[in-house]
Amino acid sequence: MTEYHIKGNNALFGELKLQGSKNASLPILAATLLTGSRSVIHNCPDLSDVRQSINILSSLGCECSFENNTAIIDSSNADGVMIDDELMTSMRSSIIYLGAILARNNRAVLSYPGGCELGPRPIDLHLSAIRRMGAEIDDTRGHIECSAGNGLTGCEIVLPIASVGATENIILAASLAKGRTIIRNAAKEPEIVDLASFLNSCGAEISGAGEVTVIIDGVKNLHGTEYSVQPDRIAAATYLCAAAATGGNIRVNDVVSSHLLPVLEYYSNAGCKMNICESSIELSAPKRLMPVGVIKTREYPGFPTDAQPLFLAMSSVSKGTSIFEENIFNSRYRYVDGLNKLGANISVHDSVAVVKGTDTLYGAKVEVTDLRGGAALIIGGLCAQGETVVCDSGHISRGYEKISENLNDLGAEITRY
């Protein structure tokens, strides 16, 4: 158990270099399997999920190294088709290995991915898409056994929900399939664009990534490449919310500002002054925030569900009422109990949370329930009078590299035990 001991009530000031994106690096690492050669991936954040991905790749026969945010993956001998139960369940996004392993080796044996704190996370869309591409799937014996005979075949897939993971899985599977795959109602998140750019730099033929229709013309082989993962838009939003909530002034560098367009207006709503350049965002907060208004989570380019807890924590110290509606995951308010323990006034009714801003939060001991909820509790602790202890069984290090160091550099007082 990790504990973050936070002495609150310090405004954050200064500059920060942003980490690489967790949600882009995970599918890109899986994609290295398809190349059958050596890839060098820079700007890979040092996170437990990234390390688990590298463990999965090693277990499949890749030679891997990971130092100073650069992962080198040689998949020349990656003929493994099976992922160990423990590795599979340790990371929800391990399901993207289904498309990658099948594309590489025409067979894959996986257990169901890790349980999730955000409510049920079905994988039916992943399985039905892979079936449509010609794989036989037996998921009746507690694990998922897939075989694709002599390979997968391109086809048209209409996703009933614009699922990020399913879109990535199809792109991975289709890159080496026979013929053309068309994904309709594809997810449009920037991480999909990064995966497609990586694969295209390996020789894949993918067009339309970031749009509603993605077209993948399968190729016979891919080759290794050198690539830099895009910056983490959710980590950027986290530090900006922390600065806003504490009445601070920070600049986040090495960001792709356009990726944050869906959230930026809400900092302005709260009364923050924003200076937005192509690769940096500066936020200057008033002493007391105004309410953000109404935030409804949606698929990109809508407001990201992963930023909902961050803005909710920030709103809990604003002067007025804000309303949140969560439309992507149905159990995404579990962290709210922790904020209320710090003195916030938040009530939840199904998918809606009503946040009545309070003057002051007070330090207390709180438990992390999930990754972004954990970041919300840290934001709460940064605003609270006295000491807050955030107890975490490992969620925060899944997504944030050096969060306490980064916040301390900006003037926070956090000790990690």
Chain contacts with ligand UD1 (rule: CB under 6 A) = 23, 26, 93, 121-126, 161, 163-166, 187, 191, 305-306, 328-329
- Asked if 7 and 400 touch (Cβ cutoff 8 Å), the reply is no
Distances, alpha carbon 175 to alpha carbons 58, 221, 353, in Å: 22, 9, 41
306 or 367: CB nearest ligand UD1: 306
Helix ranges (DSSP H) in 118-175: 124-132, 164-175
Give me the phi and psi of 279, to 5 degrees please: -125, 20
Give me the phi and psi of 274, to 5 degrees please: -120, 135
Q: What is the smallest separation between the CB atom of 24 and ligand UD1, expressed in angstroms?
A: 8
- Asked if 12 and 382 touch (Cβ cutoff 8 Å), the reply is yes
160 or 179: CB nearest ligand UD1: 160
| Chain centre to alpha carbon of residue 120 | 17
CA atoms within 13 A on the CB side of 353: 29
Give dist(CA 270, CA 273) in Å, integer: 9
Q: Choosing from 116, 155, 241, 277, which is the catalytic residue?
A: 116
15 or 211: CB nearest ligand UD1: 211
Give me the phi and psi of 178, to 5 degrees please: -80, 125
Q: What is the smallest separation between the CB atom of 125 and ligand UD1, expressed in angstroms?
A: 3
CA geometry: angle 367, 370, 374, nearest 5 deg: 55
49 or 282: CB nearest ligand UD1: 49
19 or 318: CB nearest ligand UD1: 19
Q: What is the smallest separation between the CB atom of 411 and ligand UD1, expressed in angstroms?
A: 29
8 or 373: CB nearest ligand UD1: 373
CA 83, 87, 88, 91 torsion: positive or negative?
Answer: negative
Q: What is the smallest separation between the CB atom of 38 and ligand UD1, expressed in angstroms?
A: 24
Amino acid found at 294: V
Q: What is the smallest separation between the CB atom of 50 and ligand UD1, expressed in angstroms?
A: 11
Catalytic residue flag (residue 202)? no
Give dist(CA 58, CA 282) in Å, integer: 40
- Asked if 178 and 10 touch (Cβ cutoff 8 Å), the reply is no
Chain position whose Cβ is nearest to ligand UD1 = 165
Query: Would you state the structure tokens that stand for residue 314, as one six-digit string?
Result: 């920030």
Q: What is the smallest separation between the CB atom of 267 and ligand UD1, expressed in angstroms?
A: 20
How does DSSP classify residue 395?
A: S
152 or 162: CB nearest ligand UD1: 162
Give dist(CA 362, CA 70) in Å, integer: 40
- Asked if 127 and 165 touch (Cβ cutoff 8 Å), the reply is no
Q: What is the smallest separation between the CB atom of 337 and ligand UD1, expressed in angstroms?
A: 20
Would you name the residues annotated as active-site residues?
Answer: 116
